[in-house]
Amino acid sequence: MVVTLLFGFLVGYGQANQQLNRRLSQAASQAKKFSEKKRVELTQKTQHLLAENQADVLEYQADEEQEIAEQAAENQARLERVSLLEKSLLSFSQRLDKQQQVLDEHREALEQQRARLTMAKQTEQDLQRRRGEILGQKSALTANQAKQVVLQETETKLAQDFETTVRENHDFMVLNAPRDARNLMTSAIQSAPSDAPKTHIERNILISDPKMRAKITGKNEQRLRLLETLIGVDLIFNPELPESLIISTNDPLRREVARTVINELMTARQLNQGMIENTVKLAQRRLIEQLRQTGETTWKKLQLGWVHPDLLKLLGRMQYRTSYGQNVLQHSVEVAELCGLIAAELGIQPQLAKRAGLLHDIGKAVDREVNGTHVELGVKIAEAYREPTEVVQAIAASHGDVDGDDSISILVRVADSLSGSRPGARSESVEEYINRLKGLERIARQHQGVKDSYAIQAGREIRIIVNPNEVDDHQSQSITDEVAAQIEAELTYPGKIKITTIRQLSAVQYVGGKPTTKKKHAS
């Protein structure tokens, strides 16, 4: 059993050893083949890499050779440019040498001319000295004495020519001054601005709807009284024209506020105390802003330079001020432009003249609130806002209160007269017009022996009819003189008023009896 097992083991071992050897030989054969295969592949790859490297080397070599050739060509071009530059420098050097030679020749010629000039000057001095000696010998005068004689004769001749020229210019100016003045004033008036519409002086507001009147009035006129308290005006419905609401006040700004507030309240749906108060405050703020904007616009239009901001507000207040129906702001603008035009023609400072013309009535912006004439107030305002001295003097002399002999003051007075007296510049409201006519007729009827009087031609003439049985011709002339003096003392009127007194005695009588009536015959 053991032998069998041992034999079997040996046989199995032998077979296993044979199989192992056979596998080893197979593995060695496969390894050899794999090695040979890899060697062949490695050889092929090596050859391939060598071929690729050879191509790269050749390509690199070709690039290097091309670059060397390009550098050689560039070097050759540089050499050629250097050669050209050398030739140019050589040519430029030759030209400089020639120019230097020419300059040397000119310098030498200049030195020769300078030497000749020096000699000529010396000769001239010798000749002048010799001439002076000869003149001194012949005239028996020294050089200084001869100079004094020549100077005296020249001064005498110049003085005579100067006096003649001044006399001729003076005569020419005196002869042509009236014509030039007329032309200058005509040109200035033609260039003056047109009249502005007087929409701001309305004193009545028309409320045609009875419901609207009741709405504005309120119960027991409480809303009207509230408006009067808040604004500071009197609101009265005209008894003869119930739909007309009269705004009674001497302050044009309050009148404007009242007019604005009432117009806005007429468009409101509901009214109460709070709304009325807010509307009044808003209207007052808008008016103040409007005054400032108006002042700025006017100042910029005239291009007058810097001004104090508060002075612009006062300037805007003049928009709501009138004098004889003429808007004061528009009048001031006219005066400023007239001053500027005339000053430019006369060679005086136009800007300063326009500034003085615009501010000459600035006192009228506050003369209804502060005691004093508008001239005095205007001077104080101009001094307070540090206006130029010429402007202050022009304001003080604008109405002849003080003597102003400077050119700016004279220009302002002339322009003020032109603006106020030109046709259509000043007018009156209907109420003022009617009151003036009634005043003329009232003054005429106050005198003894006057039968009737009539103001005609828009108040420019009044005709007085006297009783011929009570007044003779001499008394008629006395009545005419007295009426003229009384009108001049009591009334304010534009232009002239003609006073005509008529005394006529007519005696009528008929000749013959009464005409007889014809009798009718029966047919």
Pairing type for strands 498-502 and 461-466 reads parallel
Q: Are both 459 and 405 inside the same structural domain?
A: no
Q: Are both 416 and 435 inside the same structural domain?
A: no
- pLDDT surpassing 60 at residue 103: yes
Q: DSSP letter string over 243-272?
A: TEEEEE-S-HHHHHHHHHHHHHHHH-S---
Query: Region 91-95: what's the mean pLDDT?
Result: 88
Q: SS3 of 514, please?
A: coil
Q: Are both 207 and 332 inside the same structural domain?
A: yes
Percent of the chain with pLDDT over 70: 86
Q: Are both 324 and 231 inside the same structural domain?
A: yes
- pLDDT surpassing 90 at residue 51: no
Q: Are both 364 and 387 inside the same structural domain?
A: yes
Q: Are both 359 and 462 inside the same structural domain?
A: no
Q: SS3 of 463, please?
A: strand
Q: Are both 413 and 452 inside the same structural domain?
A: no
pLDDT tens profile 370-419: 888 888 899 999 999 999 999 999 999 887 778 777 888 888 888 888 77
- Hey, which of 317-326, 413-422, 496-505 has the most confident mean pLDDT? 496-505
CATH code of the domain in which 367 resides: 3.30.1370.10
The rounded mean pLDDT for the chain is: 82
> What is the Cβ-side half-sphere exposure of residue 7, based on CA atoms within 13 angstroms?
4
Q: Are both 316 and 247 inside the same structural domain?
A: yes
Which pLDDT does position 200 carry in this prediction? Answer: 45
pLDDT tens profile 429-470: 556 677 778 888 889 888 888 988 888 877 788 999 999 888
CATH code of the domain in which 449 resides: 3.30.300.30
Q: Is residue 313 part of a domain?
A: yes
For 365, residues 6+ apart whose C-beta sits below 8 A from its C-beta are: 314, 315, 317, 318, 321, 328
Q: Are both 305 and 260 inside the same structural domain?
A: yes
Boundary of a domain, candidates 361, 393, 421: 421
- pTM more than 0.75: no
Boundary of a domain, candidates 402, 421, 440: 421
CA distances (Å), origin 506, targets 448, 503, 512: 21, 10, 20
Q: Are both 378 and 453 inside the same structural domain?
A: no
Q: Is residue 217 part of a domain?
A: yes
User: What's the structural domain count of the chain?
Assistant: 2
- pLDDT surpassing 70 at residue 188: no
Q: Are both 434 and 414 inside the same structural domain?
A: no
Q: Is residue 242 part of a domain?
A: yes
Domain containing 470 equals 430-502
Q: Is residue 79 part of a domain?
A: no
519 secondary structure, DSSP code: P
Q: Is residue 239 part of a domain?
A: yes
Q: Are both 399 and 461 inside the same structural domain?
A: no
- pLDDT surpassing 90 at residue 424: no
